[in-house]
Amino acid sequence: MSRYNRLLQEVILEAKQLNIPISQNIDPNVIINTRAKRFGRCSRKSDKFIIELSSVFDKAEDKMAKQTLAHEVLHTCPDCLNHQAQWKSHVNKMNRAYGYKIERTNSCENIGVEREISKNAKYTIECQKCHKKMYKDRISGVIRNPEKYHCKCGGSLTVN
C-alpha cells in the first residue's frame, strides 16, 4: 500500500470516528498529479469519488498530506461539494479533534515545502506588510486591481 493510500485510510477512519457522513464510495487509490496547480482534488466519476493529490506532498510531512486528504474526503459528504456551511462544519470537527488546519485554500509555506516558481510566471503579487509573495500566470481581479484586495495579514498588495 502506498504512503498516500495508507494516509487516506487513516483520514477516512478519523472522519468516521467523528460520525462525519463521508461517502462509502471513495476510491482507495490516491492519484498523484505531478502537473497539478492545486494541492488536492475530489471528483465524482460514476458512483465513486476520486481523490487526487499534488506530488508536492512527496516533500511534506504526513500530517500536511493528511490535512489535504481530509479536505478532499470531506467533499464526499452530502451537500459538501463546495466550501459552504455544511463542509465548514465538518472541517471544524476535524480541526478540533486532530489538530488539522484545514482551510478552503492553502499555500506551500503552510505545508512546509518550497514552491518551484515557474520561470513563466507573468505576475508576482507581494504583501507590503508581511512580504508574502504569490505567483500567477493568468490575469485576474487581483492583478488588474490590487488596491481592492488585501493579504490575510491585512496588508496591501502590489503587482510586479
User: Stretch 140-149: mean pLDDT, rounded?
Assistant: 94
14 within 8 A of 70, measured Cβ to Cβ = yes
Cell of 102: 484545514
Q: pTM for the full model?
A: 0.74
Start and end residues for every CATH 3.30.2010.10 domain found in the chain: 3-111
User: Stretch 129-135: mean pLDDT, rounded?
Assistant: 87
Query: In CATH, what class is 3-111?
Result: alpha beta
- pLDDT for 151 equals 92
Which of 6-15, 68-77, 83-92, 98-107 bottoms out in mean pLDDT, i.e. has the lowest? 98-107
